[in-house]
Structure 1
Amino acid sequence: MPQFRSALLYTALALVANIGWADPYAIVDLRKDDMRKLAVHETPLELPNSTYTGEDGTPRTFADEGSAVLLVNFWATWCAPCRKEMPSLAALQSAFAPEDFRVITIATGRNPLPAMEQFFEEIEVDSLPLHTDPRQSLAREMGVLGLPVSVLIDRDGKEVARLMGDADWDSESARSIITALVEGAP
């Protein structure tokens, strides 16, 4: 009898624990093709309070973006995979209303504004912001070790997923994931 109670208690605890680990936005099953690289966190992560520099030169935080779902993309002008990925980020941004979803591009490290503008001009992207993290403090605090890195942030301001490396963000899978985050609530 004690073994039966232990087994029953263990099973009940396992079921309750697994409920806490469920993907609250049901985005895991939406990952196809390049989006298979998207690592969805078991529990949304708190974001650091570090700032980045806005296009206008003022310090910004993710909280300044309001309650929109954010896709934060860390990149640099010297990054070849970033050059390949950026047009798909711009296309993804154009598929959603800015009050619901925004792509926040943050050039990390030494990226002079003229070089950033030339980068965007060469790849014909004119709809994404030119934010910077010149000392890489935000990137370090968020554990960005290589480029590009894209971080999905839900409406509550928590990191729900991360993709390391470049990806086709203008795919059906990516749009489905963003739609689930925009429409869903944990």
Structure 2
Amino acid sequence: MTTRTPLRLPSLKLIGIAAVAGIIAGAAAVYIREAGSGNGGTQTASGECGTTKEIAARVAPLLKGQVAAMVAPDEHRRLATVSFKGAEGKPITLDSFAGKTVLFNLWATWCVPCREEMPALNALEKELGNDRFQVVPVNIDTGDDEKPKAFLREIGVDALQLYRDNTIEVFNSLKKEGLAFGLPVTLLIDGKGCLISAMNGPAAWDSDDAKALIRGAVGS
């Protein structure tokens, strides 16, 4: 477990926040206003996402404890067209991660819960990241890349790549789909780009509960 957050708060507090989020979905999220026009959005593809229902059913018993706020959607939509900038600064979509289970996370440096959970996301990627699973954190700070880069250096993130969307359009796109209303937002997505489950608010991503959820989604 990560013992301390970058704000010198014990990880136990983050666990408590996540537990509250499990009772009142998204209560710990930092709310933000809509800006911009939104980007690619989702594609409804029930045929393509047929196996996603099976994955969701498999992980349903694992949505508990520190990941209790994760909720399966009524419809397992394809999110492959959601776009943002890759680690090299070039536009990419979730199609770029085809074949991998992805934990897609939207965050900002001004979002305190986002800052608190980032070390745990880094630890999760370090332990479970491979050719079948990846944590994909997308920063939505406006302006250039320097502030998020400096923050990640400051807290010693060494396993996560920096993905960016300084237009906030990716957030707006997910908001219109009913998947986002504050930060952080975390989506669990299968190898076909289909949504397995979603959460608004932070979680202890380096906890045993989170690791069990990821292993269950990957099928390992």
TM-score range normalised by the length of the shorter chain: 0.7 to 0.9
Deviation at 1:40, TM superposition (A): 1.6
Q: How far, CA to CA, are the matches of 1:93 and 1:42 in structure 2?
A: 28
Give the letter for the 1:83 counterpart. Answer: R
In structure 2, what is the equivalent of residue 14 of structure 1? Answer: none
Q: CA shift at 1:48, angstroms? A: 5.6
Rounded Cα–Cα distance in structure 2 between residues aligned with 1:116 and 1:49? 24
Q: Rg larger in 1 or in 2?
A: 1
Give structure 2 stretches of 5+ with no counterpart: 1-49
Aligned length: 164
Alignment of 1:171 with 2:207, yes or no, is: yes
CA offset digits 1:80-125 (Å, max 9, x no partner)? 1111101111111112242110000101141531111111122221
| Percentage identity across paired residues of the two chains | 30
Contact kept in structure 1, 2:123 and 2:206, CA below 8 Å = yes
Given that 2:102 and 2:134 are in contact with CA atoms closer than 8 Å, whether structure 1 keeps it comes out as yes
- What secondary structure is seen at the aligned counterpart in 1 of 2:102? strand
Distance 1:71 1:109, change over 3 A: same
Q: What is the alpha-carbon distance in structure 2 between the residues aligned to residue 140 and residue 132 of structure 1? A: 14
Confirm or deny: 8 A CA contact 1:76 1:111 kept in the other structure: no
Normalised to the residue count of structure 2, the TM-score between the two structures is 0.69
Q: Deviations over 1:114-169 (max 9, x none)?
A: 11111112222121111111111121111232110101001121011111111101
Instruction: State how far apart, in whole Å, the 1-side matches of 2:168 and 2:77 are.
Output: 20
More moved, 110-119 vs 60-69: 110-119
Counterpart amino acid of 1:93?
A: E
1:86 partnered with 2:118: yes
State the partner residue of 2:76. 44
CA distance in 1 between partners of 2:146 and 2:155 (Å): 14
| Aligned partner of residue 150 in structure 2, secondary structure | helix
User: Cα RMSD (Å) of the superposition?
Assistant: 1.9
8 A Cα contact 1:85 1:168, kept in partner: yes
